[in-house]
């Protein structure tokens, strides 16, 4: 497909056209994602090698990379990429989950989802923190310096989002987890992050008191390892976590600090026809463990597609706070990885759709 800058159409000089890479669309008949380039991995839109641990990543072809011509001088033309667009569409067509108002706030509706998820997927609405007010937590996180990319550092879109690391555990090192996996932190950036925070164990508003309060809400027995504040400037694609790398944690609790978001859950391994969603508002929190964490994929729709990278003082992003708790044994981690990459078989054989909503 070619595009023509309408501003140039009335001029006497030649009109310059440039190819366009369209955003992926959903084929309603065959339920497949078109327009997203596949790498050797085989997952739609994932450019990573065939065998890899952790998260599948959509390359920039999965976003709108349309470019238009702009005349600079008599014979000079520059290409300007249009702003990225949100990754998820047609979310209203996805069934919504309901959660129990009583701890640990597991799935209670629809019945088939409640039977499968139980308390492996939980959500508590409008929690009132006693360890730190939500507003104070929000302002503290907004003011922090942000150097680590949230998502693939190789993606010009995902790398605009940022994350931080506040390490709590004394028995494991951050480097052991954070330097491996598809979303591994660049070594120099991780060193800068840990040094700024006193190796991640300096005094912080995100401390053990807040960690214990969040764990009690969902009756989490796993010990806290680290807080991971996330600053989203775009949707985060569907992915699965491999516990031995940057997706560590037997249980993950997430507090929604600023702006709303929609969580999408796919029962890829056991019920590939089932996809669910639930909406988070500021002050809501949710947790994953067991079935939801180890046998399902999840993604985050924030409705944003910002063109700038997040930095200290940024108020445009959606902010969430992960609390990663507990570790899997080496044997457990290998077993989970074999579920997702059985004998080198690409995930595309078990998950035929990408990030387009069915």
Q: List pLDDT tens digits, range 260-280.
A: 999 999 999 999 999 999 999
Decide if 197 contacts 112 (C-beta within 8 A). no
Is 227 in a helix, a strand, or coil?
strand
Burial 79-107 (b: 16+ CB within 10 A, else e): eeeeebebbbbeeeebeebebbeeebbbb
Q: How far apart are CA 92 and CA 279, in angstroms?
A: 11
**What is the pLDDT confidence band of residue 342, given thresholds at 50, 70 and 90?**
low
Q: How far apart are CA 24 and CA 236, in angstroms?
A: 16
pLDDT surpassing 60 at residue 126: yes
> Mean pLDDT over residues 68-84, rounded?
51
Tokens encoding 335? 């077993």
Is 120 in a helix, a strand, or coil?
helix
pLDDT surpassing 70 at residue 239: yes
**What is the pLDDT confidence band of residue 88, given thresholds at 50, 70 and 90?**
confident
Is 110 in a helix, a strand, or coil?
coil
Is 111 in a helix, a strand, or coil?
helix
**What is the pLDDT confidence band of residue 51, given thresholds at 50, 70 and 90?**
very low
Q: Which of 171-180, 184-193, 290-299 has the highest mean pLDDT?
A: 290-299
Q: How far apart are CA 183 and CA 204, in angstroms?
A: 25
Higher pLDDT, 37 or 213: 213
Beta-carbon neighbour count of residue 10 at 10 Å? 7
Averaged pLDDT of the chain: 77
Could you tell me what percent of the chain has a pLDDT over 90? 49
**pLDDT score, position 272:** 93
**What is the pLDDT confidence band of residue 76, given thresholds at 50, 70 and 90?**
low
Beta-carbon neighbour count of residue 184 at 10 Å? 18
Locus of tokens 């030649």: 14
Is 158 in a helix, a strand, or coil?
helix
Q: How far apart are CA 165 and CA 156, in angstroms?
A: 21
> Which run of H or E residues covers position 357?
none
**What is the pLDDT confidence band of residue 196, given thresholds at 50, 70 and 90?**
low
User: Does the 91-349 domain belong in CATH 2.60.120.590?
Assistant: yes
Among 53-57, 123-127, 209-213, 238-242, the minimum mean pLDDT is found in 53-57
**pLDDT score, position 47:** 52
Q: How far apart are CA 315 and CA 269, in angstroms?
A: 38
How does strand 297-305 pair with strand 261-266? Answer: antiparallel
Q: Where are the beta strands (DSSP E) in 172-269?
A: 224-232, 234-239, 251-258, 261-266
pLDDT 10s digits, 214-227: 999 999 999 999 99
Peptide bond into 104 cis (omega under 30): yes
**pLDDT score, position 61:** 36
Is 4 in a helix, a strand, or coil?
strand
Higher pLDDT, 275 or 202: 275
Locus of tokens 């366009």: 20
**pLDDT score, position 204:** 73
**What is the pLDDT confidence band of residue 157, given thresholds at 50, 70 and 90?**
confident
Q: Which of 58-67, 73-82, 182-191, 308-317 has the highest mean pLDDT?
A: 308-317
**pLDDT score, position 43:** 52
**What is the pLDDT confidence band of residue 81, given thresholds at 50, 70 and 90?**
low
pLDDT surpassing 70 at residue 70: no
pLDDT surpassing 70 at residue 294: yes
Q: Where are the beta strands (DSSP E) in 125-233?
A: 148-149, 162-163, 166-167, 224-232
**DSSP letter, residue 181:** S
**pLDDT score, position 75:** 54
pLDDT surpassing 50 at residue 4: no
Decide if 168 contacts 224 (C-beta within 8 A). yes
Decide if 324 contacts 228 (C-beta within 8 A). yes
Locus of tokens 């409640």: 114
Strand-pairing partners, residue 145, are none
Helix, strand, coil percentages (3-state) for the chain, rounded to 5, are 20, 25, 50
Numbered ranges of CATH 2.60.120.590 in the chain: 91-349
């Amino acid at each position: 497909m070619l595009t023509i800058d309408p501003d140039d159409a009335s001029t006497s000089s030649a009109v310059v056209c440039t190819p366009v890479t369209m955003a992926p669309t959903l084929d309603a008949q065959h339920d497949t994602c078109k327009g997203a380039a596949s790498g050797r991995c085989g997952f739609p839109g994932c450019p990573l090698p065939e065998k890899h641990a952790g998260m599948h990543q959509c390359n920039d072809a999965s976003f709108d990379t349309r470019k238009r011509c702009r005349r600079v001088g008599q014979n000079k033309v520059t290409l300007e990429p249009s702003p990225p667009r949100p990754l998820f569409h047609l979310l209203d067509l996805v069934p919504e989950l309901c959660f129990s108002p009583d701890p640990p706030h597991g799935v209670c509706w629809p019945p088939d989802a409640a039977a499968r998820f139980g308390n492996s997927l939980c959500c508590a609405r409008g929690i009132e923190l006693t360890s730190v007010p939500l507003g104070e937590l929000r302002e503290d996180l907004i003011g922090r310096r942000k150097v680590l990319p949230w998502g693939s550092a190789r993606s010009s879109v995902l790398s605009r989002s940022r994350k931080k690391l506040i390490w709590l555990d004394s028995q494991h090192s951050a480097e052991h987890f954070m330097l491996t996996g598809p979303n591994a932190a660049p070594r120099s950036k991780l060193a800068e992050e840990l040094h700024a925070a006193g190796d991640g164990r300096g005094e912080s508003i995100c401390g053990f008191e807040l960690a214990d309060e969040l764990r009690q809400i969902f009756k989490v027995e796993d010990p806290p390892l680290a807080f991971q504040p996330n600053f989203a400037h775009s949707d985060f694609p569907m992915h699965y976590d491999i516990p031995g790398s940057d997706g560590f944690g037997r249980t993950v609790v997430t507090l929604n600090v600023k702006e709303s978001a929609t969580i999408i859950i796919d029962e890829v391994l056991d019920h590939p026809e089932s996809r669910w969603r639930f909406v988070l508002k500021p002050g809501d929190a949710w947790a994953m463990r067991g079935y939801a964490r180890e046998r399902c994929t999840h993604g985050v729709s924030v409705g944003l597609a910002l063109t700038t990278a997040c930095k200290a003082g940024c108020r445009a992003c959606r902010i969430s706070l992960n609390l990663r708790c507990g570790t899997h044994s080496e044997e457990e981690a290998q077993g989970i990885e074999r579920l997702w990459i059985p004998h080198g078989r690409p995930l595309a054989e078990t998950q035929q759709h990408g990030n387009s909503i069915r």
